[in-house]
Chains A and B, each alone.
Chain A
Amino acid sequence: MSSIPHDHVHGDGHAGHAPHPTGLMRWITTTNHKDIGTLYLLFSLFMFFVGGVLALTIRTELFHPGLQVVNPEFFNSLTTLHGLIMIFGAIMPAAVGFANWQIPMMIGAPDMAFARMNNWSFWLLPPAAIMLIGSFFVPGGAASGGWTLYPPLSVQGGMGFDLTIFAVHIMGASSIMGSINIITTILNMRAPGMTLMKMPMFVWTWLITAYLLIMVMPVLAGAVTMLLTDRHFGTTFFNAAGGGDPVLFQHVFWFFGHPEVYIMILPSFGIISEIIPAFARKPLFGYPSMVYAVASIAILSCLVWAHHMFTVGLPAAGLLFFMYVTMLIAVPTGVKVFNWLATMWRGSMTFETPMLFAVGFIFLFTIGGFTGLVVAIVPVDIQLQDTYYVVAHFHYVLVAGSLFAFFAGAYYWLPKWTGTMYDETLGKWHFWCAMITFNITFFPMHFLGLAGMPRRIPDYAQQFTDWNMVASIGAFGFGLSQLIFVWVVMKCIRGDGAKAPAKPWEGAHTLEWTLPSPAPYHSFETPPVVK
Chain B
Amino acid sequence: MSGAHDPREETRAANRRLLQRLAVIAVGMFGFGFLLVPFYEQICRVTGLRNIDRADTVTNTQVVTDRTIRLELDSNVRHLAWTFRSLEPFVDIHPGELRQVVYEVTNTTDRTITGQAIPSYGPLHAAPYFRKLECFCFAKQTLRPGETRKMPVVFVIDPKVPADLGTITLSYTFFEVEGGANDNQRAATPREPSTTTRSDS
Whether A180 lies near B36 (C-beta < 8 A) is no
Q: Is B22 close to A, CB under 8 A?
A: yes
Query: Given A251-B40, A255-B36 in contact, is the A245-B18 Cβ separation under 8 Å?
Result: no
CB neighbours (8 Å) of A214 from chain B are: 22, 25-26, 29
Task: Establish whether residues B34 and A180, one from each chain, have CB atoms under 8 Å apart when the complex forms.
Answer: no
Cβ of B195 within 8 Å of any chain A Cβ, yes or no, is no
Contact with B along A156-185 (1 / 0, CB 8 A): 000000000000000000001001100110
From known contacts A114-B15, A245-B40, A315-B49, infer whether A252 and B23 are also in contact, taking CB-CB under 8 Å.
no
Q: How far is the CA of A176 from the CA of B28 in the complex (A)?
A: 13
B11 contacts A by Cβ under 8 Å? yes
> In angstroms, how far is the closest chain B Cβ from the Cβ of A197?
20
User: In the bound complex, do residue B36 and residue A252 qualify as a contact, i.e. CB atoms below 8 Å apart?
Assistant: yes
Evaluate contact between B25 and A184: CB separation under 8 angstroms: no
**Interface assignment of A243: CB less than 8 Å from any CB of chain B:** yes
Interface flags for B29-43 (1: CB within 8 Å of A; 0: not) read: 111111011001000
Known: A214-B26, A219-B32, A222-B34. A184 touches B52 (CB 8 A): no
- Please classify how large the interface on chain A is, using the bins under 10, 10 to 19, 20 to 34, 35 or more: 20 to 34
On whether the beta carbons of B29 and A114 are closer than 8 Å, the reply is: no
A226 contacts across to B, CB distance below 8 A: 33-34, 37
Which one of A176, A183, A188, A245 contacts B14 once the chains associate, using CB atoms below 8 Å?
A188
The verdict on A223 contacting chain B, using a C-beta distance below 8 Å, is yes
Rounded to whole angstroms, the CA-CA distance of A222 and B28 in the bound complex is: 11
Q: Do A219 and B29 form a contact, CB below 8 Å, given A114-B15, A245-B40, A251-B36?
A: yes
| Contact residues on B (Cβ < 8 Å of other chain), bracket | 20 to 34
A113 is an interface residue with CB less than 8 A from chain B: yes
In the complex, B133 has a CB within 8 A of chain A: no
B19 at the interface (CB under 8 A from A): yes
Chain B: minimal CB distance from A259 (Å): 11
Q: Is B50 an interface residue (CB 8 A)?
A: yes
B8 to chain A, nearest CB (A): 9
**Is B62 close to A, CB under 8 A?**
no
- Are B22 and A180 in contact, with the CB atoms below 8 A? yes
Partner of A222, one of B19, B22, B23, B30: B30
Indicate if the CB atoms of B15 and A217 lie closer than 8 Å.
Answer: no
For B36, the chain A residues whose CB sits under 8 A away are 219, 222, 248, 251-252, 255
- For the complex, what is the distance from the CA of A188 to the CA of B36, rounded to whole Å? 33
Is the Cβ of A218 less than 8 Å from the Cβ of B29? yes
A248 to chain B, nearest CB (A): 5
Query: Which residue in chain A gives the minimum CB-CB distance to B7?
Result: A527
A176 to B34, CA, bound (A): 18
Closest to A179 in B: B22
Tell me which of A180, A184, A243 contacts B26 (CB under 8 A): A180
How far in angstroms is the closest Cβ of chain B from A54?
29
Closest chain-A Cβ to B136's Cβ sits at a distance in Å of 42
- Segment 220-264 of A: residues with Cβ below 8 Å from B: 220-223, 226, 237, 240, 243, 245, 248, 251-252, 255
Residues of A within 8 A of B25 (CB): 214-215
- On whether the beta carbons of B49 and A188 are closer than 8 Å, the reply is no
Q: Is A189 an interface residue (CB 8 A)?
A: yes
Asked whether any CB of chain A lies closer than 8 Å to the CB of B57, the reply is no
Q: Say yes or no for B27: interface residue by CB 8 A criterion.
A: yes
**Interface of B, helix, strand, loop or mixed by DSSP:** helix
Give bound CA distance, A283 to B34, whole Å.
46
B22→A218 contact, CB < 8 A:
no
Q: Any chain A CB within 8 A of the CB of B185?
A: no
Assess the B18–A188 pair: CB atoms within 8 A. yes
Judge whether A183 and B26 touch: CB under 8 Å. Answer: no
Bound CA span A391–B52, Å: 34
Could you tell me if A184 and B50 are in contact, using CB atoms closer than 8 angstroms? no
Contact between chains at A183 and B22 (CB < 8 Å): yes
- Kindly report which residue of chain B lies nearest to residue A215, judged by CB atoms: B29
B32–A218 touching, CB < 8 Å = yes
Q: Do residues B27 and A248 form an inter-chain contact, with CB atoms below 8 A?
A: no
Interchain CA distance A167-B132 in the complex, whole Å? 59
A486 within 8 A of B: no
- The verdict on A187 contacting chain B, using a C-beta distance below 8 Å, is yes
Residues of A334-360 at the interface with B, using a CB-CB cut-off of 8 Å, are none
Q: Is the CB of B19 within 8 A of A180?
A: yes
Answer whether A237 and B19 are a contact pair too, CB < 8 Å, given A180-B26, A216-B29, A315-B49.
Answer: no
Residues in B neighbouring A215, C-beta threshold 8 A: 25, 29
From B14, B19, B40, B49, give the contact of A114 (CB < 8 A): B19
B47 CB within 8 Å of chain A: yes
Q: Which residue of A lies closest to B1 (CB)?
A: A16
Q: A219-B32, A315-B49 are in contact. Are A237 and B14 (CB under 8 A)?
A: no
- Would you call A245 and B50 a contact (CB within 8 A)? yes
Q: Which residues of B contact A248 (CB under 8 A)?
A: 36-37, 40
> Which residues of the partner chain B approach A217 to less than 8 Å between Cβ atoms?
26, 29
Residues on A with beta carbons closer than 8 Å to the beta carbon of B15: 113-114, 184, 188-189
* A176 engages B26 (CB within 8 Å): yes
The distance from the CB of A327 to the nearest CB of chain B, in whole angstroms, is 23
A247: nearest chain-B partner, CB-CB? B50
Q: How far is the CB of B166 from chain A (nearest CB, A)?
A: 37
A241 CA to B31 CA, complexed, in Å:
25
How distant is the Cα of A245 from the Cα of B36 in the complex, in angstroms?
12
Within 8 A of B (CB), among A486-525: none
Q: Are A183 and B32 in contact (CB under 8 A)?
A: no
| A251-B37 Cα distance, complex, nearest whole Å | 10
Considering the chains assembled together, what is the distance between the CA atoms of A219 and B32 in angstroms?
Answer: 7
CB distance from B130 to the nearest CB of A (A): 36
- Is A252 in contact with B29, judged by CB distance below 8 angstroms? no
User: Which of chain B's residues have a CB closer than 8 A to the CB of A187?
Assistant: 18
Minimum distance in angstroms from B120 CB to a CB of chain A: 47
Do B14 and A252 touch (CB < 8 A)?
A: no
Q: In the assembly, what is the distance between CA of A441 and CA of B101, in Å? A: 62
What 1/0 mask marks residues of chain B from 185 to 197 whose CB sits below 8 Å from any chain A CB?
0000000000000
Q: Could you write out 18 A-B pairs with CB less than 8 Å apart?
A: A179-B22, A180-B26, A183-B18, A184-B15, A184-B22, A214-B22, A214-B25, A215-B29, A217-B29, A218-B26, A218-B29, A218-B30, A221-B33, A222-B30, A226-B34, A245-B52, A248-B40, A252-B36
Known A180-B22, A315-B47; 6 more pairs at CB < 8 Å: A183-B18, A188-B15, A218-B30, A222-B36, A226-B37, A315-B49
- A residues lining the B interface (CB < 8 Å): 113-114, 176, 179-180, 183-184, 187-189, 214-223, 226, 237, 240, 243, 245, 248, 251-252, 255, 315
Please provide the 5 A-B residue pairs with the shortest distance between their CB atoms, ordered closest to farther.
Answer: A222-B33, A218-B30, A218-B29, A219-B33, A180-B22
